[in-house]
């Protein structure tokens, strides 16, 4: 049965806004187009008014990833909610990867472990107010989630209301990038109603703060969103969003080409040429496709066999062949879109000498939501077999693969991962993906040298110094051969010529916003 929200006539009446100190309303309304312009396609930002072209037209969007966790805000589904304009955090990321205002209009650091965030006047989609108590409660729920959101990997966080319009956030250890961390889609602020489920499930339907309200969810096939008229950033120009979850990339491209949808994310490289040039948008992203080798069990527990696998892989062949030039050969965990990384990259040290595979049997897995991955995995399979491995390839839809991958049931996984999606902090992905306690450690890596290098990076406050420490940690991780960077992707988004204001985000956190319209 689909999840349905009650009709508006049966919902609580909107409460009057409070009058705590804030910028004048005009300034608040003007902030949204400023933020949207960070990633906009140059066709306009949000409008604070109700008129304008397309103000009553719904958007039709095809997304690549069906919900894997019942639209929980704490895992991979969090980006579905943020990309559809349902949820927001205290902060956002600007085009340069710096923290920008969202539900918090400003903040200041009181000491090494404490930050004070000043909230803007805003409402939740269920009609209740965004209060310091509500924000503190939402962040507290996130700290108690299991598994922990990737943005909180290794972080102890306490949030408490302060007065009528501020929240004080304290961390167990110094956290110089806390404003970046709080921009994570997995730390979105939801109303108290979201956390009332008896089964512990967090329900984002009608409890977010974004320009669009989730009203119906039809399992893993589609979702319906209506415009949230009380959005703090101004009334959205589209009346709603009809989202379809289409795992097959060819089907997404066909839906755009035949006019069934207005926006199709992650168009396959092989389908790009079938679209009119005016409907193709290519965006350099911080996404890296990598081969993750299970270093905790099986054949790749042996560093010498991991070294053999790494030596067998020809990344340039993947960039030229599978990705048809729409990607760069793997250089490291961070790719060219992380503009500062290349000049700071260090040579991996301590690599084991490659052994002869001798017919070692391995299971290689990937998913088909990103259509290039199965083809890339087939090329990797051939390269590994040529080197002397015996390979079984498993391809599934991502939601059916993740649990087994996290449990270490495969010897290798070909994964596309946005290295800055969780927090915008380059160190966060290292902590979540490659440390002993990492919550998304598909490589099952537990190396004390790596943990020390990541911890040093986490404790470095200076921006340039943190980047240097992150690159030292990257070198330590690559030295274990638990991860083999394959390519750094550019994402192709299909956008109908009638659509304006799509948010082409290098961090892949947003797609439609208040200014998106047709």
Question: Nearest to residue 74, comparing CAs of 215, 229, 223, 201?
Answer: 201
Q: Which pLDDT score is estimated for 391?
A: 98
What is the Cα Rg of the chain in Å? 23
* Burial of residue 47 (number of CB atoms within 10 Å: 0-12, 13-18, 19+): buried
In 206-287, which residue ranges form alpha helices assigned H by DSSP? 249-257, 269-272
Q: Which pLDDT score is estimated for 273?
A: 87
Q: How many Cα neighbours within 13 Å face the side chain of 440? A: 23
Question: Is the distance from CB of 417 to CB of 288 less than 8 angstroms?
Answer: yes
* Burial of residue 9 (number of CB atoms within 10 Å: 0-12, 13-18, 19+): exposed
Question: Is the distance from CB of 432 to CB of 153 less than 8 angstroms?
Answer: yes
Quote the CA–CA distance of 345 and 336 in Å, as a whole number: 11
Q: Which pLDDT score is estimated for 8?
A: 47
Q: Which DSSP symbol is given to 498?
A: T
Question: Nearest to residue 58, comparing CAs of 227, 302, 290?
Answer: 227
User: Between β-strands 263-264 and 157-162, what pairing exists: parallel, antiparallel or unpaired?
Assistant: unpaired
pTM of the predicted structure, to 2 decimals: 0.73
Quote the CA–CA distance of 98 and 360 in Å, as a whole number: 46
Quote the CA–CA distance of 31 and 24 in Å, as a whole number: 11
Q: Report whether pLDDT(356) > 70.
A: yes
The residue behind tokens 């710096």 is 98
Six-digit token string for 54: 């397309």
Q: Report whether pLDDT(20) > 70.
A: no
Percent of the chain with pLDDT over 90: 70
Quote the CA–CA distance of 207 and 390 in Å, as a whole number: 50
Quote the CA–CA distance of 228 and 127 in Å, as a whole number: 10
Question: Is the distance from CB of 374 to CB of 397 less than 8 angstroms?
Answer: no
Q: Which pLDDT score is estimated for 349?
A: 87
Render pLDDT for 119-134 as a digit per residue (tens, 0 to 9): 999 999 999 999 999 9
Q: Report whether pLDDT(499) > 70.
A: yes
Quote the CA–CA distance of 186 and 150 in Å, as a whole number: 8
Question: Nearest to residue 188, comparing CAs of 431, 505, 510?
Answer: 510
What residues pair up with 394 in beta bridges, in sequence order? 365
Q: Which pLDDT score is estimated for 489?
A: 85
Domains (range + CATH), the chain: 3-262 (3.40.190.10), 284-490 (3.10.105.10)
Render pLDDT for 61-108 as a digit per residue (tens, 0 to 9): 999 999 988 899 998 899 999 999 999 999 999 877 789 999 999 999
Q: Report whether pLDDT(166) > 60.
A: yes
Question: Is the distance from CB of 498 to CB of 262 less than 8 angstroms?
Answer: yes
Quote the CA–CA distance of 393 and 193 in Å, as a whole number: 44
Quote the CA–CA distance of 388 and 477 in Å, as a whole number: 25
Average pLDDT over residues 356-375: 94
Report residue 31's pLDDT band, with 50, 70 and 90 as the boundaries. very low
Q: Which pLDDT score is estimated for 49?
A: 37
Q: Which pLDDT score is estimated for 506?
A: 85
Report residue 202's pLDDT band, with 50, 70 and 90 as the boundaries. very high
Six-digit token string for 486: 């394959």
Q: Report whether pLDDT(326) > 80.
A: yes
Question: Is the distance from CB of 99 to CB of 179 less than 8 angstroms?
Answer: yes
Average pLDDT over residues 320-337: 90
Report residue 428's pLDDT band, with 50, 70 and 90 as the boundaries. confident
Q: Report whether pLDDT(208) > 90.
A: yes
Q: Which pLDDT score is estimated for 336?
A: 86
Report residue 33's pLDDT band, with 50, 70 and 90 as the boundaries. very low
Quote the CA–CA distance of 64 and 511 in Å, as a whole number: 12
Report residue 507's pLDDT band, with 50, 70 and 90 as the boundaries. confident
Q: Which pLDDT score is estimated for 45?
A: 37
Quote the CA–CA distance of 330 and 264 in Å, as a whole number: 26
Quote the CA–CA distance of 41 and 37 in Å, as a whole number: 8
Percent of the chain with pLDDT over 70: 89
Q: Which DSSP symbol is given to 204?
A: -
Among 45-59, 199-213, 354-368, 413-427, which is the least confidently predicted range? 45-59
Among 50-54, 221-225, 452-456, which is the least confidently predicted range? 50-54
The distance between the two most distant Cα atoms of the chain, rounded to a whole number of Å, is: 73
Quote the CA–CA distance of 464 and 458 in Å, as a whole number: 13
Q: How many Cα neighbours within 13 Å face the side chain of 235? A: 10
Angle of helix 426-434 versus helix 448-458 axis, rounded to 10? 150
CA angle 503, 286, 312 (to 5 degrees): 140
């Amino acid at each position: 049965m689909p999840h349905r929200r009650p009709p508006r006539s049966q919902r609580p009446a909107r409460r009057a806004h409070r009058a705590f100190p804030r910028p004048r309303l005009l300034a608040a309304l003007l902030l949204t187009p400023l933020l949207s312009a960070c990633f906009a396609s140059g066709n306009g930002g949000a409008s604070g008014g109700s008129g304008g072209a397309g103000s009553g037209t719904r958007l039709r969007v095809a997304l690549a990833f069906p919900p894997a966790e019942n639209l929980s805000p704490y895992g991979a589904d969090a980006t579905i909610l943020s990309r559809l304009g349902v949820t927001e955090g205290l902060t956002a990321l600007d085009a340069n990867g710096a923290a920008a205002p969202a539900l918090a209009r400003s903040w200041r650091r009181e000491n090494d472990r404490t930050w004070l965030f000043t909230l803007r006047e805003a409402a939740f989609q269920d009609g209740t107010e965004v209060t310091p108590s509500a924000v503190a409660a939402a962040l507290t729920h996130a700290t108690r989630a299991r598994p922990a959101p990737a943005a909180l990997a290794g972080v102890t966080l306490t949030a408490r209301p302060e007065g009528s319009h501020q929240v004080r956030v304290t961390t167990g250890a110094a956290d110089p990038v806390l404003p970046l961390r709080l921009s994570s889609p997995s730390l979105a602020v939801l109303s108290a109603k979201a956390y009332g489920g008896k089964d512990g499930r967090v329900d984002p339907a009608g409890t977010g703060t974004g320009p669009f309200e989730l009203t119906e969810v039809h399992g893993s096939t589609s979702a319906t969103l209506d415009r949230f008229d009380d959005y703090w950033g101004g009334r959205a120009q589209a009346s709603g969003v009809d989202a379809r979850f289409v795992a097959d990339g060819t089907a997404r491209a066909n839906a755009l080409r035949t006019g069934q949808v207005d926006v199709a994310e992650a168009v396959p490289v092989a389908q790009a040429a079938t679209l009119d040039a005016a409907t193709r948008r290519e965006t350099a992203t911080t996404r890296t496709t990598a081969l993750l080798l299970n270093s905790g069990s099986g054949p790749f527990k042996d560093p010498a066999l991991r070294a053999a696998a790494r030596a067998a892989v020809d990344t340039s062949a993947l960039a030229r062949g599978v990705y048809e030039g729409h990607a760069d050969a793997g250089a490291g965990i961070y790719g060219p879109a992380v503009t500062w990384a290349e000049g700071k990259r260090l040579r991996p040290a301590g690599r084991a000498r490659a052994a002869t595979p001798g017919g070692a049997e391995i299971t290689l897995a990937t998913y088909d939501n990103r259509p290039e991955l199965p083809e890339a995995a087939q090329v990797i399979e051939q390269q590994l077999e040529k080197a002397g491995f015996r390979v079984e390839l498993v391809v599934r839809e991502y939601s059916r693969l993740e649990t087994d991958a996290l449990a270490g049931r495969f010897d290798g996984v070909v994964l596309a991962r946005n290295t800055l999606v969780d927090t915008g902090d380059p160190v966060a992905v290292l902590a979540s993906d490659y440390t002993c306690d990492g919550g998304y450690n598909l490589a099952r890596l537990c190396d004390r040298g790596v943990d020390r290098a990541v911890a040093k990076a986490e404790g470095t406050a200076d921006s340039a110094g943190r980047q240097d420490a992150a690159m030292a940690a990257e070198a330590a991780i690559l030295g274990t051969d638990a991860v083999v960077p394959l390519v750094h992707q550019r994402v192709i988004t299909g956008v109908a010529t009638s659509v304006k204001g799509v948010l082409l985000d290098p961090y892949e956190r947003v797609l439609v916003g208040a200014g998106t319209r047709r």
